[in-house]
Homo-oligomer: A and B are copies of this chain.
Amino acid sequence: MKTIKDSVHDYIEVEGVALDLLDTAPLQRLRHISQLGTVTLVYPSANHTRFEHSLGVYHLASRALSHLGIEGQQAERVRAAALLHDVGHGPYSHNVEDLIHRHTGKYHDEVHDLLGGGAVARILSEHGLNPDRVADMVAGEGELGQLVSGELDVDRMDYLARDAHHTGVPYGTIDHGRLVRELRFVDGDLVLAAGNVQTAESLLLARALMTPTVYNHHVARIAKAMLRRGAERLLAETAVDPERLRRMDDKDLLVALRSNDATEGYGERLSYRDLFKRAVWAEMDAVPDDLLDADHDEIRRLEDDIATEADIDPGHVILDVPEKPELKETSSRVIVGGEVRRLEEQSTLVQALRAAQYDQWRLGVYAPRDAQDRVGDAAVRVLGLDVEETLVSDVRSGIHATLDEFQ
Which A residues have a C-beta under 8 Å from some C-beta of B? 3-8, 10-11, 23, 25, 28-29, 31-32, 40, 43-49, 51-52, 55, 165-171, 173-175, 177-178, 181, 194-198, 201-202, 205, 208-209, 212-213, 249-252, 254-255, 271-274, 334-339, 347-349, 351-353, 355-356, 359, 391, 400-405, 407
Q: Is the CB of A170 within 8 A of B173?
A: yes
Do B45 and A52 touch (CB < 8 A)? yes
How many of these chains are in the complex? 4
Task: Determine whether the beta carbon of A177 is less than 8 Å from that of B10.
Answer: yes
With a cutoff of 8 Å between Cβ atoms, the chain B residues found around residue A3 in the complex are 181
Q: A10-B177, A165-B7, A355-B348 are in contact. Are A195 and B402 (CB under 8 A)?
A: no
Question: Which 5 pairs of residues, A with B, have the shortest CB-CB distance?
Answer: A337-B402, A352-B352, A7-B168, A7-B45, A28-B272
CB distance from A388 to the nearest CB of B (A): 15
Alpha-carbon separation in the docked complex, A181 to B251 (Å): 37
Question: Which B residues lie within 8 Å of A168 (CB)?
Answer: 5-8, 10
Whether A11 contacts B178 by the Cβ 8 Å rule is yes
> In the bound complex, how far is the Cα of B353 from the Cα of A402, in angstroms?
24
Residue numbers in B under 8 Å from A404 (CB-CB): 194-197, 334-337
A107 to chain B, nearest CB (A): 24
Contact of A47 among B48, B339, B359 (CB under 8 A): B48
On chain B, the residues within 8 Å of A29 by CB distance are 271-272
Inter-subunit contact A353/B359 (CB<8 Å): no
**Contact in complex: A6, B45 (CB < 8 Å):** yes
* A314–chain B nearest beta-carbon distance, Å: 26
